[in-house]
Structures are given as structure tokens and as C-alpha cells.
Amino acid sequence: MPDEELPFDKLHEECGVFAVYGHSEAANLAHLGLHALQHRGQESAGIASSDGKLIYTFKSMGHVADIFTASVLNGLPGYMAIGHTRYSTAGDSSVLNAQPFSVSCNKGRIAVAHNGNITNAAELRSELEDHGAIFQASSDSEVILHLVAHSNQRTLAEALREALMLLDGAFSLVVVAGDSIIVARDPHGFRPLAIGRMNTAKGPVYVFASETCAFDLIDAHYIGDVEPGEMVIAGPNGLTREFYTLPDRPAQCVFEHVYFSRPDSIVFGVPVQQSRELMGRLLSEELPIQADVIVPIPDSGVAAALGYSHASGIPFAHGLIRNHYVGRTFIEPSQAIRDFGVRLKLNPVREILAGKSVILVDDSLVRGTTSQKIVRMVRNAGAREVHLRISCPPTISPCFYGVDTPTKRELIAANQTVDEIRQFIDCDTLAYLSLDKLSMAVRDTNAESHFCYACYTGKYPTELVNIEELMTSRPNRC
């Protein structure tokens, strides 16, 4: 599960989406769903509700709990709603980019929120601007609204179908369109989008979310996923499903299982806790070593550390304690404050670490700077040996499908060997989970892979124009 603050050295998810159709308290349900998806974005959040005639939108910077007061929710009536949590990249942190986006056009009223990164957004935007479109934000989600508004199709659903066909890249989309909720996933299915159902006295209520943990909170049950290339409409005729395009080679983001998603979610049909524990079990086979204790780097390393401990028989202990209440104060400070920031966030338990040979388990290693500080912290707490184990392969390439990654130049594994990284981090041994074992852990065992592993292989599942330029910049996503 993502850390919400820098300076922790993690990739960041960009967004979480939620939608509900057929409940008189739709905005309240969306509010609860967004609480469960807060880990997918802490910069801003928003809800758009509708009674089938008007769309009511409220969005703001900050956390869900701070944005949606009782009076704000009272101003969001209707039987359907969509919601969004957003994490922004540097430079685009503004309420203008908060979602959902909402407009009224010649086909009716429409509001949209999305998770992902539309890789041809800049080209589409420039074409739309040539035809008179005026953009208010830098987010690529706004492009979708303009495509719908400029479409010659008669209805919102037809115009949306046409717009989806023009998009490249990754998108899991939730839309309020007229009297319906429409959701869709890109043909590769990069980002997750689950379907849930609540049974009420007044009939079924349909819900959609980036992760199933959002269903648990509202007593909805998971009935499956929106398929790659599929568009699902919840409306007066119940639930209708259709493929707006042929599915492409599946490329589900494996990093959802490695790190992003909550362990209590089912993502791409697989429980995340199970896949992470299996990563830990398999990791114990990569470079077997005798040690006194397995210590997870909290919170995201916990499930893999448990699996490692079960497989190896080495006891598990919480030798590092995380402070959950550190704010974003430490973004972009001086180096001295950054060091302080890591110590503020994690504290060693000397009684567990002193005199021991310790295996530290983490889910990923991006720049290596935080790992170096954590190893030093564990040594200073008296550990005799420190062995670092990472429950995924070395991260060597940036992501262009909705995940905030540093540039290739900043990724330590893109530029150094495993032994050079070990020396930099100053641990006794370092090992990563191999790609084959990661595939096993997420049950990707068919002849044709269903996952994207591009940040570990550099092999991108879609064609990327201007790849050299992309490698040195950080795109503005979702």
C-alpha cells in the first residue's frame, strides 16, 4: 500500500475511482468508497452526483475526511455518483486538476473521472484546441470530455464509445452520463476496475471501484471485473455489458500486486494478501541465508515478510515501527531535512534488532536512498548483519501507464548492478524476487502473459511515440 508522503522512496499510484448507481444516498456511498481508496491518492478528491437531470460536483485539495463535511454531502443529491482520489506529480498540484470533470454539452450533462495515463493525450489535446476547445486543466481526463463534446454522435453513450476508441494508454474510467453510470477499461486492462453489487429492499445497487476494499465498507459484494476493452452501463435497464473494442494483449499492472493495492483487496481476480505472501515465500528461495529475525519495512513489506518467515522458519518481528501521522511537510526539503524525515517516519525497536542477524523485507527499491538510511538505522540499533530482500525484480524503466515513477536516470537499478546497489545501500547481502517467481505469485502462468512487467523489463506493451523524450520527463497523469 502506498506511502502517502515523500521522502519515502516509492513509486506512486495516481488515482482511485469509485461509482455507484441506484441508491438514494449515492454521494454518501461514494464518500465511504473514497475513504477506502484514499491510499491511491491524497492530493485531492471529488464527487459528482446526479439525479439524472443535473450534475452536482464538489472537489477540493486534501484528504477525503477533510473535504466532505455533512453540509458538502447534503449538496450532492441524486441516485448515482462517481468519486475520485488523486495523487499529483510535481507541478500540477492544483484544484483545477482535481476530478471529476463535469460539463454540459449538446448531448447532455456528463462528468468523468479516470485512473491511468492517456499516452496520446497531448496529440488529442492539440487537435481539439485547433478545433476551438478551451482546456481549463492540464490533466488528460479533460481530453475525454472534449472528445465527447466534439463528437458527431447523437447520444452521450455513442459519443463516449467513439471517444474511447481514440485513446491510447491506460484508463479505468467512471462516467455519469444522462441517466446512467458508464464505466470502461482500456483494451489492455492496465489499471483495475471491479464491479460490485448491493442488494437492497428497493432492488440491486451497482458499484464500481479501483479496488474491492471499497465494497467491503458499504457491504457490497464483488461480482467480477470490467474486462479490458469493455464498457459497462448501469442504468434504467439494469446492468448492460458490451465490448466497445476488441481486447488487446492483456497488460494488467503487476505493481498493483507488488505494492499499490491494499492487501484486503482482490485485484485482477487475485487476493493481494495471498499474492504478496507468495512473493515472500518465493523470495526466501532466491538467495537462502541463515538469520535470526525477519523484519518487514512497514507497512507494504509486511505480507511478503510473513510469507518469507513461514517458508524459511525464521521468526517474524516488527523491528521497525512506522509513524502514520507524518504529513507532507517533508516534500522537497534540503537533504538534511530529508534524512530527518526518514527517521521521523520509521523508528527501530532495539530489543528486536540488537545483536541479531536481520533480514529486512521491502516491496520495492527505486532510488535506493531510503533503503540506505533504513539499513544504517538498523545497524545503529545494534544489528550484527543486515540482509535486504526485495519482493519484486529490479525496477529499471519508468511507467507511462498511470504510475508516478522517477526518470530512468534516477532509477538505481537502471544504472547499477545488484552488487553496486548492495554497496551503496551498505547491506551484507541483497536479493530481488526474479521475474519468473513474480509471475508465479500473481498466478500469471498461462502461455500468454496477462500482466505488464515493463518497469522490470523495459518492454512496453503499447507503442510509445517520443520514447526518448518520455524517458527523461514525468508525464502528467490522471
Which residues are near ligand SF4 by CB under 6 A? Answer: 190, 253-255, 399, 401, 403, 452-455
Residue closer to ligand SF4 (CB basis): 139 or 397: 397
DSSP annotation of 258 reads I
Residue closer to ligand SF4 (CB basis): 182 or 278: 278
How far apart CA 72 and CA 290 sit, in angstroms, is 56
**Inter-CA distances, 138 with 95, 100, 128, 209, 473, Å:** 11, 14, 14, 24, 15
Residue closer to ligand SF4 (CB basis): 23 or 191: 191
Which one of the listed residues 15, 399, 427, 455 is annotated catalytic? 15
Q: How many other C-beta atoms can be found within 10 angstroms of the C-beta atom of residue 237?
A: 8
Minimum gap (Å) between residue 404 Cβ and ligand SF4:
10
Length of the chain in terms of residues written: 478
Q: For residue 101, report the phi and psi dihedrals to the nearest 5 degrees.
A: -95, 140
Residue closer to ligand SF4 (CB basis): 190 or 244: 190
Sole residue written with cell 518481528: 317
Which cell goes with 427?
547491506
**Closest of 161, 180, 141 to residue 59, by C-alpha:** 141
Write out the E strands in 316-442: 320-322, 346-348, 357-362, 385-390, 403-404, 429-432
CB 167 within 8 A of CB 184: no
Minimum gap (Å) between residue 114 Cβ and ligand SF4:
15
DSSP-assigned states of every residue in 170-200? EEEEEEEETTEEEEEE-TT--S--EEEEEEE
For 256, the 3-state DSSP assignment is helix
Sole residue written with cell 537533504: 335
15 is catalytic: yes
Minimum gap (Å) between residue 187 Cβ and ligand SF4:
14
Q: Which single residue brings its beta carbon nearest to ligand SF4?
A: 399
Minimum gap (Å) between residue 11 Cβ and ligand SF4:
6
CB 19 within 8 A of CB 373: no
Residue closer to ligand SF4 (CB basis): 50 or 252: 252
Minimum gap (Å) between residue 454 Cβ and ligand SF4:
4
Minimum gap (Å) between residue 188 Cβ and ligand SF4:
9
Q: Which residues contact 258 (CB under 8 A, 6 or more apart)?
A: 276, 279, 363, 364, 391, 392, 438
Residue closer to ligand SF4 (CB basis): 36 or 452: 452
Minimum gap (Å) between residue 34 Cβ and ligand SF4:
22
Residue closer to ligand SF4 (CB basis): 81 or 167: 167
**Inter-CA distances, 31 with 25, 46, 58, 71, Å:** 10, 9, 11, 13
What is the set of active-site residues?
A: 15
